[in-house]
Amino acid sequence: MTNQTMDLYNESKIKRKRSKLEFYLKEAFDRLFAAAALITLSPIFIAIAISIKVSSKGPVIFRQPRQGKNGEEFLIYKFRTMKPHAETNGVTQAKAGDSRVTPVGKFLRRTSLDELPQFLNVFLGDMSIVGPRPHAIEHNKLYSERIDGYMLRHLVKPGITGWAQINGWRGETDTLDKMAGRVQCDLYYIENWSLALDVKIVLATAVKGWTGKNVY
């Protein structure tokens, strides 16, 4: 964890006390939900894996280092949606008409089906069902210098979905204001978290949170 992150943690205004029972309940909710999703959605996993494999060269699963709770690194899992390529200038977000995105990948990204392997991240304990979305490490370095309190997002485990995503802050963050809006929602979630709020976010995600016009 960087000194900057430690300073932000020490200066945090997020001081609401929660019982150990609340954290245990969230952990149990995450693991049980992830296990059920992995079992129930296994036919979809197989179908997606086959479609990726037959439509383009490269691995089925995309892996990338991300930062989780307390800044600890882990490998995030996603279905591969781009042609294999090497990044020369850091991590570049996908944009409208991005030539790197495969036809199958475009559908997966638009519907968020590429995120399904993250249920394995949840089951392994690196992520939660609900929490701030984990950004690329290069983006953390960039925005931590430009947005106050940005690294406070790492006070909790990152999530597959979150308060920001169901409130319209999903997809490309091509301006500083868009990222700042997402961070504001993430910090609201951390400060106001409850199991009831998690359930509310999961239900809202099921209804409206899987697609978005800014997702490429």
Residue 50 burial (CB count, 10 A): 11
* 22: in domain: yes
Q: Which domain holds residue 169?
A: 3-209
Q: Is residue 214 part of a domain?
A: no
User: Does 61 fall in a domain?
Assistant: yes
106 within domain boundaries = yes
Number of domains in the chain: 1
pLDDT in tens, the chain (216 residues): 444 444 444 445 555 567 788 889 999 999 999 999 999 999 999 999 999 999 999 999 999 999 999 999 999 999 999 988 656 565 666 666 678 899 999 999 989 999 999 999 999 999 999 999 999 999 999 999 999 899 999 999 999 999 999 998 887 777 899 999 999 999 999 999 999 999 999 999 988 766 656 554
| Contact between 31 and 122 (Cβ < 8 Å) | yes
Within-domain flag for 164: yes
Instruction: Please tell me the distance from the alpha carbon of residue 192 to that of residue 10, in angstroms, as a whole number.
Output: 19
Is 138 a domain residue?
yes
Q: Is residue 101 part of a domain?
A: yes
